[in-house]
Chain A
Amino acid sequence: MATTSHMFMYSLTIQPPTAITQAILGQFSGTKEQQIVTASGSKLTIHRPDPSQGKVTPIFSQDVFGIIRSLAAFRLAGSNKDYIIIGSDSGRITIIEYVPSQNRFNRIHLETFGKSGVRRVVPGQYLAVDPKGRACLIASVEKNKLVYVLNRNSQAELTISSPLEAHKPQTLVFAMISLDVGYENPVFAALEVDYSEADQDPTGLAYEEIEKVLVYYELDLGLNHVVRKWSDPVDRTANMLFQVPGGADGPSGVLVCAEDSVTYRHSNQDAFRVPIPRRRGPTENPERKRTIVSGVMHKMRGAFFFLLQTDDGDMFKLNLEMVEDENGQLTGEVQRLKIKYFDTVPVASNLLILKSGFLYVASEAGNHHFYQFEKLGDDDEETEFSSDDYSADPSVPYDPIFFQPRTYENLNLMETINSLNPLIDSKITNLTEDDAPQIYSVGGTGARSTFRTLKHGLEVSEIVESELRTVPSAVWTTKLTRSDEYDAYIVLSFANGTLVLGIGEVVEEVTDTGFLSTAPTLAVQQLGEDSLIQVHPRGIRHLLAGGRVNEWPAPQHRSIVAAATNERQVAVALSSGEIVYFEMDTDGTLAEYDERRQMSGTVTCLSLGQVPEGRMRSSFLAVGCDDSTVRILSLDPDSTLENKSVQALTSAPSALSIMAMADSSSGGTTLYLHIGLYSGVYLRTVLDEVTGELSDTRTRFLGAKPVKLSQVSVKGQTAVLALSSRPWLGYSDIQTKSFMLTPLDYVGLEWGWNFSSEQCVEGMIGIQGRNLRIFSIEKLDNNMLQESIPLAYTPRRFVKHPDQPLFYVIESDNGVLSPATRQSLIQDSESRNGEAAILPPEEFGYPRGTGHWASCIQIVDPISTKSVVFTLDLEDNEAAVSVAAVPFSSQDDETFLVVGTSKDMSVSPPSSGGGFIHIYRFQEDGRELEFIHKTKVEEPPLALLGFQGRLLAGIGSTLRLYDLGMKQLLRKCQAPVVPKTIVGLQTQGSRIVVSDVRESVTFVVYKFQENVLIPFVDDSIARWTTSTAMVDYETVAGGDKFGNLWMMRCPGKVSEQADEDGSGAHLVHERGYLQGTPNRLELMVHYYTQDIPTSLHKTQLVAGGRDIVVWTGLQGTIGMFVPFASREDVDFFQSLEMQLAAQHPPLAGRDHLMYRGYYAPVKGVIDGDLCEMYFLLPNDTKMMIAAELDRSVREIERKISDMRTRVAY
Chain B
Amino acid sequence: MADKLRTLQNLEALQARYIGTGHADTTKYEWTSNILRDSYSSYVGHNPLLSYMSVGMGEPKEKVRTMMLEKMVRGAGNPPETQE
A residues sitting closer than 8 Å to B (CB atoms) are 19, 21, 41, 67, 69, 89, 118-121, 124-125, 141-143, 169-170, 172, 174, 193, 195, 198-204, 207, 210, 237, 239-240, 291, 293-294, 311, 347, 349, 364-365, 421-422, 424, 445-446, 794, 813-816, 907-908, 1041-1043, 1090-1092, 1113-1115
Contact = CB atoms under 8 A, between A and B. Distances in A.
Contacts of B52: 422, 1041, 1092, 1114
A372 B75 CA distance: 45
Interface in B50-78: 51-63, 65-66, 69, 72-75, 77-78
A21 B47 contact: yes
B19 A1114 contact: no
A1154 to B, nearest CB: 16
A1054 B18 CA distance: 45
Contacts of A794: 55, 58
B55 A311 contact: no
Contacts of B56: 814, 907
B22 interface: no
A1042 B38 CA distance: 14
A1041 B49 contact: yes
B49 A199 contact: no
B28 to A, nearest CB: 14
Interface in B5-19: 16, 18-19
Contact of A347 (B48, B60, B66): B60
A202 B58 contact: no
A118 B42 contact: yes
26 contacts: A21-B47, A41-B48, A67-B47, A118-B45, A119-B41, A120-B41, A120-B42, A121-B18, A121-B19, A125-B44, A141-B72, A143-B19, A172-B69, A174-B66, A195-B72, A202-B78, A202-B82, A207-B73, A293-B60, A814-B56, A815-B58, A815-B59, A908-B53, A1091-B48, A1114-B51, A1114-B55
Contacts of A19: 47-48, 51
Determine chain A's interface SS by DSSP, over half rule: loop
B37 A207 contact: no
Contacts, number: 142
Contacts of A237: 66
A227 B65 CA distance: 28
A142 B19 contact: yes
Nearest to A348: B60
Given A907-B57, A1041-B49, A195 B19 contact: no
Contacts of A815: 57-59
Contact of A125 (B45, B48, B58): B45
Contact of B73 (A172, A311, A364): A172
B74 A422 contact: no
Closest 7 CB pairs of A and B: A814-B58, A118-B45, A293-B62, A120-B41, A239-B66, A204-B78, A141-B41
A362 to B, nearest CB: 12
Contacts of A816: 58
B23 interface: no
B73 A198 contact: yes
A202 to B, nearest CB: 5
A1155 B21 CA distance: 24
Nearest to A1026: B52
Given A41-B48, A1113-B48, 13 more contacts: A21-B47, A67-B46, A201-B78, A202-B79, A237-B66, A293-B62, A347-B60, A364-B61, A421-B51, A1041-B52, A1042-B49, A1043-B48, A1114-B51
Nearest to A1092: B48
B64 to A, nearest CB: 9
Nearest to A210: B73
A349 B18 CA distance: 31
Nearest to A422: B55
B81 interface: yes
Nearest to A421: B51
B16 to A, nearest CB: 8
Contacts of B49: 1041-1043, 1092
Contact of A200 (B57, B72, B79): B79
Nearest to A292: B62
B58 A813 contact: yes
Contact of A1042 (B19, B46, B63): B46
Contact of B57 (A119, A141, A199, A814): A814
Contacts of B65: 239
Nearest to A1115: B48
A203 B75 contact: no
Contact of A291 (B19, B38, B63): B63
Nearest to B19: A121
B39 to A, nearest CB: 9
Nearest to B78: A204
Contacts of B81: 202
Nearest to B72: A172
A130 to B, nearest CB: 24
Nearest to B79: A202
A118 B46 contact: yes
A597 B48 CA distance: 66
Contacts of B78: 201-204, 207
B48 A174 contact: no
Given A141-B69, A794-B55, A240 B62 contact: yes
A311 B42 contact: no
B55 A365 contact: yes
Contacts of A421: 51
A810 to B, nearest CB: 14
Contact of A1114 (B33, B48, B63, B72): B48
A324 to B, nearest CB: 36
Given A120-B19, A200-B79, A207-B78, A349 B45 contact: no
A349 B72 contact: no
Given A19-B51, A365-B55, A445-B55, A141 B62 contact: no
B67 to A, nearest CB: 9
B21 to A, nearest CB: 11
B73 A193 contact: yes
Nearest to B54: A364
Given A21-B47, A1042-B49, A1113-B48, A199 B79 contact: yes
A723 B55 CA distance: 44
A1113 B46 CA distance: 14
A142 B41 contact: yes
Most buried by A among B47, B69, B79: B47
A349 to B, nearest CB: 7
Contacts of B16: 169
